[in-house]
Chains A and B, each alone.
Chain A
């Protein structure tokens, strides 16, 4: 069973497999981008879509009602990819030439060929040199490079010169050994995966930074799951060999060739992989548990405080019952009690929501949550700011009760001049 989408292309409607859709979408996107400068009225792309629709309708029959990846691959083969168009149109009327002259006039961060923020590749474009030279120069210039890099990152606008080449760092678990981190990095940086593995492994003997780095990347990068993500790992480039590769991979015909040395080197890691995998999973669970317990404790304490606060404020205490306490209570300004109460309520709500998000692995991108956090900061801030005022107010009324004695010295120090005069 597969999930399908319904698309409207060239005035016709088709059902299409999810992965086929992803490829088709990227394909049309790449054409749109390539002919962007000469295709003002979106005419070329519409012609493409019409023709693709025609081809699709030939593929559809009663026994086959859905467009699949093979169909899309076939259609792309017939229609041609960017490589084919470049053959005919480069140097004639494609807008790419204009783009390049623009590059040399102004410094941009090139986000298409970037590794971090495209600063180095942008500089390389500007001076027409290989980015690797700039990168090495930057790397040598520790720690000045960091400052320069950040300044350029902030100050120089970024530009996507070729969105099809935009890379995203994913974990390539399918082709990886443990978590696919090294393989993902290798796809991203276009360096041999085994080299990266050796560096990671080697760092174990020099303080183990690599291990930490590996864990961080493991936790913070997503695994490439959909076909689009897999293609984005090394820059999305629609061409036939790419699509064929995916078709082959799906049927499992792609045989990996590894030399014996590589196999020997990787053997212990292959053995360790399941062990490390479980270790990480357990570590994450423990982490979550600790986090949840902390949040629970915060929420619990706030709840108790809130309860005490509400009991005190809503149950009227008569002066005869406890004259001293009555006086203290009256001395605390109403606004302080209200602000404190709201802060506590907010704390409880936010803790609860955070706990839910963490437990169910949800991302909190709701504006409500943001607003709550903002309000929480405001009210907590207000509470903290008003505490000294309240204490001074009570001191003025000579109402520092016995139970605050422990803190007396602190207040004394804090409010030196005034206190000396009072006593």
Chain B
């Protein structure tokens, strides 16, 4: 298994978590989400975000609102819902669990 494949698997698993995290901090529009994900190298291509946003919206973890923008057409701003906040808390718990177990595994090797 190459490292590339490993990265893909990790990204695949964490994408939803990261997107929710970004949306929960403040109201953002799609390009901002993409920008942040790109900076932290979670996504490679932008297109992967849209289907995910649509799915999260269908599960009612996030909602969107159209807002006028100064340059160009109106933009879609995403924000988190109450059930989304609850969901992300659960995700954070399980993330911390996994994170600590992986860390302890790595330590025990040394």
Contact = CB atoms under 8 A, between A and B. Distances in A.
Size band of the interface chain B makes with A: 20 to 34
A31 B48 CA distance: 11
A47 B50 contact: yes
A54 interface: yes
A50 B44 contact: no
B20 to A, nearest CB: 16
Interface in B38-89: 44-48, 50-51, 53-55, 57, 72-76
B12 interface: yes
Contacts of A325: none
B47 A54 contact: no
B47 A80 contact: yes
Given A12-B72, A57-B72, A85 B53 contact: no
Contacts of A85: 47-48, 51
Given A87-B8, A87-B12, A79 B72 contact: no
Interface stretch (A35-43, A154-162, A399-407): A35-43
A258 interface: no
Contacts of A88: 11-12, 15, 48
Given A39-B54, A87-B12, A88-B15, A80 B72 contact: no
Contact of B47 (A11, A31, A38): A31
A44 interface: yes
B101 interface: no
Nearest to B73: A11
A173 interface: no
Nearest to B50: A47
A80 B46 contact: yes
Contact of A47 (B15, B44, B53, B72): B53
9 contacts: A47-B50, A47-B53, A50-B30, A50-B75, A54-B31, A79-B45, A87-B12, A88-B15, A88-B48
